[in-house]
Amino acid sequence: MKRATLWIAMLAAFSPSSHATGDSLDELGLEDLVKTEVTSVSRKSQSLSDVAAAAFVISSEDIRRSGAQALPDVLRMAPGIEVAQIDNGRYAVTARGFNGRFANKLQVLIDGRSIYHPMFSGVLWELDPIPLEDIERIEIIRGAGAVMWGANAVNGVINIISKHSRNQTGGAANVTVGSQGYGNVYARIGQSLDEKTSFKLSVQGRYAEPSKQFDSRDDAEDRLKNGVVDFRFDRDLGAGSDLAIWANASRSTLGDLWRIKPENIGGSIALSPMSFMQRLHSETLVGRYRWLSDIGIESSLQLSGSRSGIEITDFIDESRTTFDLDYLGRYAIGTHDVQWGLGLRNSSDDVSATGSYLQIQNPSFIHRTSGIFVQDDWTLIPESLKLGLGMRWDKATRNDSSYSPHATLLWTPSQMDSVWLKYARAPRTAARAEQDVSILAGLTVQQTQFGNLPIVQYARPSGQGLNAEKAEGLELGYRKQFSNTVSADMTAYRYRYTKLRSGSQSGLIGCNNAFLFVPIPGMQVDPARCPGILSGQMVLLQEIQAVNGLAGWSTGLELAADWLVTPNWRLQLSYSWSKLNMDEGKDQISNADAEMTQRAKPRESASLRSQWNMTTSQQLDLWLRAMSSYERVNITDATPSTSSEPNYVRIPGYVTLDLRYGYRINKDLEVAVIGRNLIGARRFEYLSDYIPTIANEIKPSVMFTTRWKF
């Protein structure tokens, strides 16, 4: 972080003078930023200054001026959000720790509809859910949000809110080309049919040539092809009622390299790379009706249906159909603002495992979730003190019922200050993969008196025995409006996690009958229990089953500041510090899992963005980012070891810079040059946790983009 401090100081030194000329952009007014309305905290419109939660809003202007081409890269702006790029399309994204390819404690929504995947309890970031150009704003709420958004909103909620179709009338076309074979094409057409009715239709396609493997510098397999079609229809029905309809279809094709093929190399077993092609698709139809009753009850009913699929060649093929129903009611009476609601989800799948590396029980399964909640925001002292109390009940297939309470206290001693305290509890229900999937997960080589013995880890399903993970904690926050041009907020938190997933050895199997003559404690010789690719090999199969074996504490501090230095120059800073302290486990594997979880958490991250309107037609944007180092276990370690301790690989911290220069030719046409990751020749941000993918490099890139409205 010393390097980050140095770069921040350097940026301040060459930033534009406060006497710089040029008209201000409407989107840059900090007074408007402070008055930003957010809806994702309490599912009602509130000023950011009235929110008793750690909230951060990314506007459409922030997205455009960032130069980012993928949604996860945009999220790097927010404090507390950890983003690690895996390859051209895949990302690991979480809030406040526990990151991974299948990070499962962050609820992600599009216009209030969850895109959380029941198979592994996470988000497929490589499947573009919505073009960046169609996003009105992104509301990021750190901390537990289960009362309003249900189980799995454990560490945070991200709600991506699309633009109203009346704000997207006319036509638009954007084209981006860049180094490393990158291309992005976006087109949109919209129309107002009358003063109350409008629609828009947009399409986007992205393409990227394969990157390089970090270690070997050989070509990777991550050629990306993405396409998305998005439609929205809006109708104002009058008398406080409206109707919105969304339709969306997405496709993604992306290759990958997994170190998963067992081979006999020099008399020892090693895992060699295999190429896989991943194809994803999703089709969704959503309708929302909002109305106001004669007695003043505000209601919203949202229905959605979707079909999706995951196909990984020679590995797995999943097709899924999901239906969602969500109702929300609100009624204000006296000093009480009461909300209540219910949510239902029915997700049925049909899954086949087509290779030797993965097996699945129950090839067809229906996952059902249901929940009801009530929330009361009670004004104790007008304009000064508010108390919020909420409770939710959830039930998911194969999971016990869970209860999620929360309480908030918001004190606003002045119009410029607000202090809030929050207590919350949230569950994370078991995923389908944790209960039904067996997968070859890693390899180590152990030196013994009988020679070097390869030990292959094989994750077995837990069956019916998993309980929901739980998080419970406190947050304290302070917001300050120093002036019309400077604002800041700070959040401190401490959460207790219990019943977290860990592994437990359920068997140690000798895959060759020769092990009958090798006395290894706890080993059973049964080649038939080994997967076909291992049966008869001189390897030990370590069967690991998921259990609720971990607990620990998460402590952190988050800071965000916004400064409108001049009418045409804005600085925005975010900083996060956090630490995980896991309890000692019950056995060797649980202890190893606890240490792995702690060491896989970056301690610090920082972001400093500068938006400068040089003239009425020129913009210069700089984005300085920094992340501290962390460590992950090498799950495919073929180096013989005399120790049972895992081999950790350090993912180095980094400081990098993004740069964007935009030139507005006229009110309808803009061109821009974008440089990304300009500091540092190359790096990698991620080492696989569950699936043994090969680390890919991230290196500087340059892009040229045009934006045309007609």
Residue 345's pLDDT band, with cuts at 50, 70 and 90, is very high
Say if residue 615's pLDDT is above 90.
Answer: yes
Residue 143 is given by DSSP the state: S
| Residue 330 Cα to chain centre, angstroms | 29
pLDDT of residue 267: 58
User: What average pLDDT does this structure show over 225-242?
Assistant: 96
Q: How far apart are CA 70 and CA 92, in angstroms?
A: 13
Instruction: Please give the full DSSP string across 459-512, using - where no structure is assigned.
Output: EEP-TT-PPPEEEEEEEEEEEEE-SSSEEEEEEEEEEEEEEEEEEEEEEEEESS
Mean pLDDT of 442-453: 81
Chain segment 572-581, per-residue pLDDT in tens: 999 999 999 9
Cβ proximity of 304 and 285 under 8 Å = yes
The mean per-residue pLDDT over the stretch 661-685 comes to 95
For residues 181 and 209, give the distance between their C-alpha atoms in angstroms, rounded to a whole number: 5
Across 502-515, average pLDDT: 90
Share of the chain above pLDDT 90, in %: 70
Residue 639 or residue 26, greater confidence = 639
Q: Which SS3 state, helix, strand or coil, does residue 513 take?
A: helix
Residues 6+ apart with CB under 8 A from 83: 72, 73, 75, 76, 91, 92, 93
**Which tokens sit at 682?**
């190359």
- Distances in Å between the Cα of 152 and the Cα atoms of 105, 110, 239, 281 are 6, 16, 36, 23
SS3 string, 672-703, reads EEEEECCCCCCECCCCCCCCCECCECECCEEE
> How many whole angstroms separate alpha carbon 135 and alpha carbon 140?
14
Tell which residue, 48, 156, 140, has the closest CA to residue 487. 48
Burial 157-195 (b: 16+ CB within 10 A, else e): bbbbbbbebbebeeebebebebeeebebebbbbbeeeee
Determine how many CB atoms are found less than 10 A away from the CB of residue 705.
21
Residue 29 neighbours by CB under 8 Å, 6+ apart: 564
Backbone angles phi, psi at 442, to 5 degrees: 170, 175
Q: Give me the numbers of helices (H) and strands (E) for the chain, helices first please.
A: 7, 38
As given in the structure block, the two tokens for residue 590 are: 């649980």
At a CB cut-off of 8 Å and minimum separation 6, what does 503 contact? 459, 544, 545, 546, 547, 549, 589, 590, 593
Q: Would you call 319 exposed, middle or buried from its count of C-beta atoms within 10 A (0-12, 13-18, 19+)?
A: middle
pLDDT grade, residue 269 (50/70/90)? low
The pLDDT, as a whole number, for residue 445 is 84
Q: Are strands 268-292 and 106-110 parallel, antiparallel or unpaired?
A: unpaired
Residues 497/482, Cβ–Cβ less than 8 Å: no
Confidence band for 22, pLDDT divided at 50, 70 and 90 = very low
- Specify the pLDDT at position 463: 63
Which residues, at least 6 apart from 334, have a Cβ–Cβ distance to it below 8 Å? none
What is the pLDDT, as a whole number, of residue 444? Answer: 84
Q: 145: burial class by Cβ within 10 Å (0-12, 13-18, 19+)?
A: buried
Backbone dihedral region for residue 607 (phi beyond 0: left; psi -120 to 50: alpha; all else: beta): beta
Name every residue whose Cβ is closer than 8 Å to that of residue 153 and which is 6 or more positions away in sequence.
107, 144, 145, 146, 426
Q: Has residue 12 got a pLDDT over 90?
A: no
> What is the phi/psi pair of residue 514, to 5°?
-65, -20
Pairing of strands 451-460, 540-566: parallel
Tell me the pTM. 0.93
* 706 Cβ neighbours under 8 A, 6+ residues apart: 174, 175, 176, 669, 670, 671, 672
Distance CA 489, CA 481 (A): 9
Q: What pLDDT is recorded for position 439?
A: 87
Average pLDDT, the chain: 90
Mean pLDDT of 13-21: 42
**CATH number, residue 558:** 2.40.170.20
Please give the average per-residue pLDDT across 667-685, as a whole number: 95
Boundaries of domain holding 654: 2-709
For 100-145, write each residue's pLDDT tens digit: 988 999 999 999 999 988 898 889 999 999 999 999 999 999 999 9
Give the separation between CA 662 and CA 613, rounded to whole angstroms: 9
Least confident of 143-152, 318-327, 391-400, 448-457: 448-457
Decide if pLDDT at 174 tops 80. Answer: yes
Burial string for 578-599 (b: 16+ CB within 10 Å, else e) reads bebebbebeeebbbbbbbbbbb
Give the dihedral sign, CA 147/148/150/156.
negative
The answer to whether residue 20 scores a pLDDT higher than 60 is no
Two tokens, residue 42 = 């309490």
> pLDDT digit string (tens) for 27-69?
444 445 545 778 888 788 888 888 999 999 999 999 999 999 9
Q: Which residue has the tokens 């809003």?
A: 57
Give DSSP secondary structure letters for 588-617: HHHHHHHHHHHHTS--EEEEEEEEEE-SSS
Distance CA 594, CA 502 (A): 8
Instruction: State the Cα–Cα distance between residues 524 and 532, nearest whole angstrom.
Output: 17
| Parallel, antiparallel or unpaired: strands 636-641 and 437-448 | parallel
pLDDT digits (tens, 9 = 90+) for 534-562: 888 888 999 998 899 899 999 999 999 99
> Could you tell me the two tokens for 245?
């309809």
> How far is residue 391's CA from residue 404's CA, in Å, rounded to a whole number?
6
Could you tell me the two tokens for 363? Answer: 């090839």
pLDDT category of residue 18 using cuts at 50, 70 and 90:
very low
- Counted domains in the chain: 1
Tens digits of residue pLDDT in 683-709: 999 998 878 889 999 999 999 999 999
